[in-house]
Every structure is written in structure tokens, then in C-alpha cells.
Amino acid sequence: MTASSDPHSNKRMELVLLEHCYRRVISEGVPVFVVPAPAVGTCARLLAAQFNRISIFRLQPPESVRFNQVVVFGIRKKAHLRGEPKGAKELLRITYKPQLLPDLSQEVSEHYAIPPSAPATITHTGLSLDKIEDALQRSVAMQNARGILVRKQQKMTGRPVTPLHKGHVRAAGLQRHAERLLRRR
């Protein structure tokens, strides 16, 4: 896909992610969105249209400070209240002065109740891996590749790669002598 045909080519990735994920937050569910502070302005209209009680805090770990990251909390609006971006201007102002945001700490007074979600159902609609592995062993492609992948045992004949020492010669002689004795019995 080329950049010109990509619908997200001129959007910040934080907005693309939010557009993709916000629908999956249930009514009165709480998103936790960690982004660079300037990205809050890009996402302001969508955040304000879909969420109430939006709170934004600065993060204090060194990597978060380095990338000017903030965390956004909110509560997903009920379906009949969605669409009106009330509060988007306040979110835009935050992006210009993120140093005025409170730090996320134990003393934060804002609390969010997380509603229970429906039990997840996992449905496997794919093929059994055991059956695939068995079929792969019988496949023509594997039989053709087996000659390259798996080497057959070859008998070694001829002179050894390393020269034999007296100990090797004695051991070989003793072995032949032992074989002769066994054959006589």
C-alpha cells in the first residue's frame, strides 16, 4: 500500500489507534491511553465526543519524561450522549502547557470504577496443528526437501583424516583379535 492510498498516511498514529480501539470500550468503561502530550490535541475531538470525566496526568518515569508522555483516563459515554465533543477546547489547551498537568501519583483524587465485562468466549475455527504436522510429513514438498534437510548416514572408508598413533593401531589390532576369538566360538 502506498502512502497516498493509505487513509492514515497524514494522521498521527495515536489518533489512528484511538479511532481503531475506542469502539471496543464498553459504555461506562475506562480507557487508559498513554501518549505524548502533543498527541492529546490531535485526539481531542474524538476523546471529547466519546468520553466523559476525562483526566490527564503527567507520567514521571525517566522514559516518560523524555518523551513528554501523559496518561488519559475517561469514562465512555452512553450511546445517546456520544458525538458531541464538549470539552475539546480544554483538551487542546492542555497540549500547549503540559507542565501544568498534575503528576500521576497515589494522591490523585480522581477515581474510576471499572464495570464488569461479559465473559470472553474463545472460538477456535482454524486447523489442528497436530493434523498439519502429520500432513506435512507426508507431503510431496517435504519428501523433496528431505534430501536437502536430512542427510543419510554414509559409510566411511579410506584413510582417516587424522594420522593414527601407536595406541590407535594397538586398539584396532586388539579389536580384530577379539572379533576372531568371538567367531571361533
Q: Kindly list the structural domains of the chain, giving each domain's residue range(s) and its CATH number in brackets, ordered by start.
A: 13-100 (3.30.70)
Which pLDDT does position 146 carry in this prediction? 78
Alpha helices in the chain (DSSP H): 13-21, 37-50, 62-66, 88-96, 129-138, 140-149, 166-184
Which of 51 and 129 is assigned the larger pLDDT?
51
pTM assigned to the model? 0.58
In the numeric block, the cell 497524514 is attached to 10
Q: Among 102, 108, 20, which Cα is nearest to 31's?
A: 20
pLDDT digits (tens, 9 = 90+) for 73-109: 999 988 887 877 777 888 888 778 888 888 888 888 8
- Mean pLDDT, the chain, integer: 80
Least confident window among 36-40, 67-71, 88-92? 88-92
